[in-house]
Structure 1
Amino acid sequence: MKALVLAGGKGSRLRPLTHTSAKQLVPVANKPVLFYGLEAIRDAGITSVGIILGDTGREVRDAVGDGSAFGLDVTYIEQEAPLGLAHCVLIAREFLADEPFVMYLGDNFLVDGITGLVDAFRAAGCDARILLTRVAEPQFYGVAELGPDGEIVGLQEKPEFPRSDLAIVGVYTFSPAIHEAVRAIRPSARGELEITDAIKWLIDTGRSVQSHFVTGYWKDTGRLEDMLECNRMVLEAIEPDVGGSVDGLSDITGRVVIAPGAVVERSVIRGPAVIGADTKIIGSYVGPYTSIGEGCVLDDAEVDYSIVLGESAIRGVSGLTHSLIGRYVEVTRATGVPNTYQLMVGDHSKVQVRA
């Protein structure tokens, strides 16, 4: 069995960060979201992985390499434009050959991985098994309708009036029958080959399409609030590990990871939190559910419930919360009355706030 990982897409909901960075490489607890997916694929017993690339392909290649760091054998497949999920299957035909495969959207985050889905698909002998979860607002998702035996009997793509609350999670398993389906469908109104249309074709032609429910935590990490929530979930499970330097005037409480080379002086860190390698925390407060990347500087700053990417600096700013700060960002003090701020800042930016 093989895997097809989709790592293209524009990441429009995380702009401006994704103007210069792949959305799949935004980190959760200082590890890119894409890496969690690759590890889940490996843990499900799959080692041959094709990765679909878009505009940020070079960045993804540099991060993943040949896949050996994950115990995988990676093949890269270029998509000239975002022409739909079914189009990804179409262009990956040579790589996939006639093997069954799992298709994994690289910006999805699943705490419990995909081993249960893959094992159930292998055992069932169906042509597709689709991962589902119940959601409060199904109108924003692809929605599935189930028959009495758990089979999928209908699909709607972001319907105005959903017929169920079962959202299609971005992980699918397919038999080689899907190749006939993607060749048979036509582009949708938005000009894309929709995977929901291909699955409908399987259903309409009498193929077996089964459902599988998420057993743990799942998020599509396309929005700021989703990234922060995923960060919180991962940090809840970390074990304390202080590998850097912490002086006697600092107070480290709770589950805190401080990477080798990091320096903490005259500061308070309340876990769960992660501090990246070679980062300096000076006279600052880092609150719970915060990830600070490698090579950062926090000087006379207060940050909590946030993600700060590598090589960024926050100086003289208090009350920074619920924020996602890109790489090479500088946040500094401006004159005025102290306040609380919520920021999503792209790479190579400089921001002045009242602090």
Structure 2
Amino acid sequence: MKAIVLAGGSGTRLRPITHTQAKQLVPVANKPVLFYGLEAIAQAGVREVGIIVGDTQAEIEAAVGDGSAFGIDVTYLRQEAPLGLAHAVLIARDFLGDDDFVMYLGDNFIVGGIDDIVATFTAQRPDAQIMLTKVPDPRQFGVAELDTDGRVVRLEEKPKEPKSDLALVGVYLFTKAVHEAVARLEPSWRGELEITEAIQWLLDAGLRVDSTVISGYWKDTGNVSDMLEVNRLVLESIESRGHVDESSEIIGRVVVEDGAMITGSRIVGPAIIGAGSVIRDSYIGPFTSIADDCHVIGSEIEYSIVLREASIVGVGRIEASLIGRGVEVTPAAHAPRAHRLVLGDHSKVQISS
């Protein structure tokens, strides 16, 4: 079995962060989201991995290399434009050959990995295996409709009137049968080759498509709120390590990486402080990831992700924030407070000073 990992999207929902960084490399608990997927693929026993890349190819290659750090062998496959998930399968045709394969969306996060679904697929050999999960607003996803016996009967991409609340999770498994389906597709109304339509073609052709409804945690980390939620979830599982000076206080599980300096501060976990970072006279609250070589001085921050080399100095409470690389956050200059009034006769005004 092989795998293809999609890492070519532009990440418009994470802008402005993704103006200068691949969305798959935005860190969760100080590790890029993409790395969690590659580790899950390796854990499932898959070794040959094709990474679909676009305009951020150089950055992805610099981060992942040849894949040896993950126990995999990586081939980079260029997608000139984001023309759909099925288009990624189309350009990976030569790499995949006639092998079964996993398709994994590089900005997705699945707790527990994919060992079980890969083992089930290998044992039962359907033509396609999809993962589903219930979502509050299925209009944002590919949606599956099941019959009374739980078999997939229809799939639709981002429907205006969903037939169910079961969304496709960003992991798919296929035999070589999907290549014929992909070759027959026409671009959708979105101008893309939709993987949902390819799977629907398999169904219409009488081929077997199995589904698994997962109750575990899954997130498409395409926006800031989802990134912060995944960061929270990963930090829940960390184990404390590292040291702070005697003037600082640690409460709960906190990781302090080698070379980080923490003085006169209070850190309430779960939280992680990256190597080379300086935390002084500050409060770091729960579910916060501070990357390498950051400075947090005389400030408070909680439930946030701070990327490397960022600086937060003299700032009051910061919450639920994603702060990019090399950002400088400082207090605004104090302007005199004044009220300008035009009041009619016999008015009564209360001003809070």
* TM-score of Structure 1 vs Structure 2, range by shorter chain: over 0.9
How far residue 148 of structure 1 moved from its aligned partner, in angstroms, is 3.8
Partner of residue 312, structure 1: 310
The structure with more radius of gyration: 2
The count of corresponding residues between Structure 1 and Structure 2 is 335
How far residue 9 of structure 1 moved from its aligned partner, in angstroms, is 0.7
Partner of residue 195, structure 2: 195
Partner of residue 127, structure 1: 127
Partner of residue 171, structure 1: 171
Q: Does 1:271 pair with 2:265?
A: no
Partner of residue 7, structure 2: 7
Indicate the larger mover: 227-236 or 210-219.
210-219
Secondary structure of the residue that 2:228 maps to in structure 1? helix
Q: Quick one: distance in 1 between partners of 2:214 and 2:49?
A: 22
Partner of residue 86, structure 2: 86
Q: Quick one: distance in 2 between partners of 1:270 and 1:191?
A: 48
Secondary structure of the residue that 2:99 maps to in structure 1? coil
The runs of at least 4 aligned residues of structure 1 exceeding 4 Å deviation read none
Q: Quick one: distance in 1 between partners of 2:291 and 2:82?
A: 30
Q: Quick one: distance in 1 between partners of 2:139 and 2:263?
A: 49
Partner of residue 71, structure 1: 71
Q: Quick one: distance in 1 between partners of 2:333 and 2:131?
A: 51
1:1-355 residue pairs with structure 2 within 5 A?
1-242=1-242, 245-336=243-334
Q: Quick one: distance in 2 between partners of 1:143 and 1:188?
A: 15
**C-alpha RMSD of matched pairs (Å):** 1.0
Q: Structure 1: which 5+ runs fail to align?
A: 338-355
How far residue 191 of structure 1 moved from its aligned partner, in angstroms, is 1.4
Deviation by residue 1:25-48 (Cα, 9 ceiling, x = unmatched): 000000000000000101111111
Q: Is the Cα contact below 8 Å between 1:128 and 1:172 reproduced in 2?
A: yes
Q: Is the Cα contact below 8 Å between 1:315 and 1:332 reproduced in 2?
A: yes
Q: Is the Cα contact below 8 Å between 2:131 and 2:214 reproduced in 1?
A: yes
Secondary structure of the residue that 1:240 maps to in structure 2? coil
How far residue 93 of structure 1 moved from its aligned partner, in angstroms, is 0.6
Indicate the larger mover: 214-223 or 275-284.
214-223
Give the TM-score taking structure 1 as reference length: 0.93
How far residue 150 of structure 1 moved from its aligned partner, in angstroms, is 3.0
Q: Quick one: distance in 1 between partners of 2:9 and 2:214?
A: 24
Give the TM-score taking structure 2 as reference length: 0.93
Deviation by residue 1:216-260 (Cα, 9 ceiling, x = unmatched): 210000010000000000011110011xx5211100111000000
Q: Is the Cα contact below 8 Å between 2:224 and 2:322 reproduced in 1?
A: yes
Q: Is the Cα contact below 8 Å between 1:250 and 1:268 reproduced in 2?
A: yes
Secondary structure of the residue that 2:331 maps to in structure 1? strand
Q: Quick one: distance in 1 between partners of 2:70 and 2:32?
A: 13
Q: Percent identity?
A: 62
Q: Quick one: distance in 2 between partners of 1:320 and 1:134?
A: 32
Q: Quick one: distance in 2 between partners of 1:308 and 1:225?
A: 14
How far residue 14 of structure 1 moved from its aligned partner, in angstroms, is 0.2
Q: Is the Cα contact below 8 Å between 1:150 and 1:210 reproduced in 2?
A: no
Secondary structure of the residue that 1:233 maps to in structure 2? helix
How far residue 120 of structure 1 moved from its aligned partner, in angstroms, is 1.2
How far residue 333 of structure 1 moved from its aligned partner, in angstroms, is 1.1
Q: Is the Cα contact below 8 Å between 1:133 and 1:214 reproduced in 2?
A: yes
How far residue 336 of structure 1 moved from its aligned partner, in angstroms, is 4.4
